[in-house]
Amino acid sequence: MKYIIFNWKSYLNFKESIKLSKIISEFKKSKKLKIISAPNNFFHLALSEKFKKNTYAAQNFDLDGRGASTGSLDISHLKENKIEYTIIGHSEMRSNHGENDKIVSKKLELSINNKLIPIVCIGESLKIYKSKKTKKYLRSQINTIFKRTQKYDQIILAYEPLWSIGTGLTPELSEIDDICKFLSKILEKYTFKKINILYGGSVNLSNISEILKLQFVNGVLVGSASTNSSFIKYFK
């Protein structure tokens, strides 16, 4: 099973989100692919009601969303809207909203307690990559986010090198596979019922086929390319 996650960010308006959701709803059910869409959080309820066969993820939720917290999104709202997955620790939440690995760890625990499947994002900066300290940095992220005393059920881990997101730059295929193999190895120290490791970062029609063939890659997290209907139809 390969996971294909479309992170539409804030690129699409409601009408455009309906158009792409309709295309996905017409796909034949597959045992080889699991397609998950992450639309703008405001659209969840309407889309999940209109396209009941589709699977949706939240792009984010807030730790202090319940009660007197203007503008926040509480995790309970996701469950009410029939959301099954949630992205945690995306690079844009880290760079634009000050999210760090300790906050990601708290969100991970909250998502598990609320029976949502977390899509945890990690990745290194260009400076770290060039200094050949990627594995050391990723190990540190894993050790901060995950707890060895915790028994985890289903987790999706997305490796997204920060320097690759939205830039058109990607690591070599061998590098992607090696990092995903490394992550699967260090995660053996933790108790998982099931974990899938994805790659994200400038995934597009020209490279997705080769990325999905990699031995240690269980799928992809796709940003702007997934807002194009021709990309969506690739999986039909």
Q: Would you say 193 and 153 are in contact if contact means Cβ atoms under 8 Å apart?
A: yes
At residue 208, φ and ψ (nearest 5 deg) are -65, -35
The span from the CA of 83 to the CA of 86, in Å, is 8
Instruction: Determine whether 90 is an active site residue.
Output: yes
Question: 92, 99, 124, 160: which one is catalytic?
Answer: 160
The span from the CA of 58 to the CA of 119, in Å, is 10
Q: How far is CA 34 from the centre of its chain?
A: 13
Question: 90, 92, 99, 124: which one is catalytic?
Answer: 90
Strands 151-159 and 191-200: parallel
Instruction: Determine whether 26 is an active site residue.
Output: no
Closest CA to 120 of 144, 151, 97, 98: 144
What kind and span of H or E run contains 5? strand 2-7
Provide the annotated active-site residues: 90, 160
